[in-house]
Structure 1
Amino acid sequence: MTYTPEMLEELKVLCLFNLATTQEGIKVHSSTADPAKVAATQRLHERGLLTQPDGGYLTGLGHDAAVQAQGLLTILTTAPVTT
């Protein structure tokens, strides 16, 4: 299984959240945001990961997913270890 462009866009949205606090959400403006980001945000809401169709806050499941997404991004962007 490979990541689809839609999945990658959803991962990008999950990486926008500040995991240090539950009091900070995001707002994706449908009039100004990239349509792919708007659609990804809507899909995450439909899956129960976000509280609002245009972003809002992470749900419990959304927080778990964002932790995983951001952790993967950290691993992939860290310089390789040479021995």
Structure 2
Amino acid sequence: MNQFDDDMTAELNLILKFPQDSLMQGLKIHHDASQSIVHAAERLFAKGIITKPDGGYLTDLGIDIADHARHLQMALSMKLN
């Protein structure tokens, strides 16, 4: 596996939606969210990255992954001269 597939991309995008300012804030995925978001949340829960299948909070693993994801996002968002 040498690239991010669509499921991984959806999971990374969802992880980036978790508030980074406070670990006491989480997310709630509502029933009217897109199926890709709902399924991404279910997969993240199954992997132990978030605390509930419909959001909740990041686990310790999730916090580490979110930190790495934000670094990747920042690095890849850099503008070239």
TM-score, normalising length: structure 2 = 0.93
> What is the match of residue 61 of structure 1?
61
Q: Is the 8 A contact 1:14 1:66 kept in 2?
A: yes
Q: Is the 8 A contact 1:10 1:40 kept in 2?
A: yes
Aligned to 1:21: 22
In structure 1, runs of 5+ residues without a counterpart are none
Q: Which amino acid aligns with 2:78?
A: T
- Give structure 2 stretches of 5+ with no counterpart: none
Is this contact kept in 2: 1:14–1:70, CA < 8 A? Answer: no
> Counterparts of 1:79 and 1:18 in 2: how far apart (Å)?
25
1:42 aligns with 2:67: no
CA distances 1:14-34 after superposition (whole Å, capped 9, x unpaired): 1001122101100111x2101
Residue identity over aligned pairs, in percent, reads 35
Whole-Å separation in 1 of the counterparts to 2:28 and 2:71 = 22
Tell me the TM-score normalised to structure 1 length: 0.91
Alignment of 1:5 with 2:6, yes or no, is yes
Please tell me whether residue 79 in structure 1 is matched to residue 74 in structure 2: no
CA distance in structure 2 between the partners assigned to 1:46 and 1:67 by the alignment: 20
Q: Whose Rg is larger?
A: 1
**Deviation per residue, 1:41-70 (Å, 9 max, x gap):** 110000000000000000000000011111
